Amino acid sequence: MPGAEPPRALGILAGGGPLPGRVAAAAAAAGRGVFLVGLEGYAEPAVLAPFRHAWARLGAAGRILALLREASCTDLVLVGPVRRPSFLHLRPDAEGARLLARIGRAAFAGDDGLLAAIVRVLAEEGFRVLGAHEVLTEAVAPAGLLGRHAPDAEARGDIARGIAVVRALGAVDVGQGCVVQQGIVLCVEAIEGTDAMLARAAGLARPGPGGVLVKLVKPGQDRRADLPTIGPATVRAARAAGLRGIAVEAGGTLLTDRAGLVDAADAAGLFVLGIDPGRLSETGETS
């Protein structure tokens, strides 16, 4: 409408995987200018190639902020997995060292504490930090089944057990996922990430019905960074681990490729279920 403020330019701090490109495409389709800063060693060149972008190493905060400001970005999205480096390998520049000092002890705490501190400092630097789910709304996992297959009563019991475990993990800022089989917790996610956890689960599986992967948002997590994410590769890794399904938090999990995920799950005979963790009891029944 006449006199309406034009959309703010969107900066995207891009880690790995396809989601940075999907966020950029959605923003561009909505008429927003976009600029991506690809984190060296994490972002994928082919994902960034269609858009205006530059590269920076993770510790080069001065370059990252300068690039975003030169591109007139006032809104910022942090999206795509980034493995946290040790301080020795981070090699912060002068601006990075200044920001680390402001982040303080959170730099050495769990991932969510660190990310929340980073979001706070970026806001203090004049950026409005958005969640990827606020731009890419169609990528958010819905409630209910995605695909043809459904969990049976035993699988729902494993899901309920997994919810209790992941909530406990999240409360101490450790991880977002676990694998449960026949009521037994086979493994939990820590710094290694979901794919490595699933690779471990393959060697821990028990005879009988396969296990279930459960992924949830951590209690109190700032949803503007590091939401749980799954895609076709997750389904393939779950199948290789002998699992029979995946349960994720509806409204709080990003799907990198929903159609591809559903096709992969249907072909593998796995269920994918969007759940409300607050509505499942330890028995797996809805309350």
> What pLDDT does 106 receive?
58
**Which residues have CB under 8 Å from 152's CB, separation 6+?**
none
Q: In the chain, where does the domain assigned CATH 3.40.140.80 lie?
A: 140-279
> What pLDDT does 285 receive?
46
Q: Which fold has domain 140-279?
A: Cytidine Deaminase; domain 2 (3.40.140)
Chain CA centroid to CA 112, Å: 11
> What pLDDT does 282 receive?
42
Q: In the numeric block, which tokens belong to residue 200?
A: 């471990």
Query: Checking DSSP bridges between strand 144-145 and strand 271-275, what pairing results, if any?
Result: antiparallel
Cα–Cα dist 284/131, whole Å: 30
Q: Distances from the Cα of 115 to the Cαs of 8, 152, 215, in angstroms?
A: 23, 37, 18
In this prediction the pTM is: 0.85
> What pLDDT does 85 receive?
67
Mean pLDDT by 10 residues, the chain (287 residues): 65 93 94 94 95 92 92 93 70 81 65 68 89 92 96 96 95 91 96 91 94 94 87 96 97 95 98 90 43
By CB atoms closer than 10 A (0-12, 13-18, 19+), residue 40 is exposed
> What pLDDT does 112 receive?
55
Q: Using only C-alpha atoms, what is the Rg of the chain?
A: 20
Q: Which fold has domain 10-135?
A: Rossmann fold (3.40.50)
> What pLDDT does 262 receive?
97
> What pLDDT does 187 receive?
96
Q: In the chain, where does the domain assigned CATH 3.40.50.20 lie?
A: 10-135
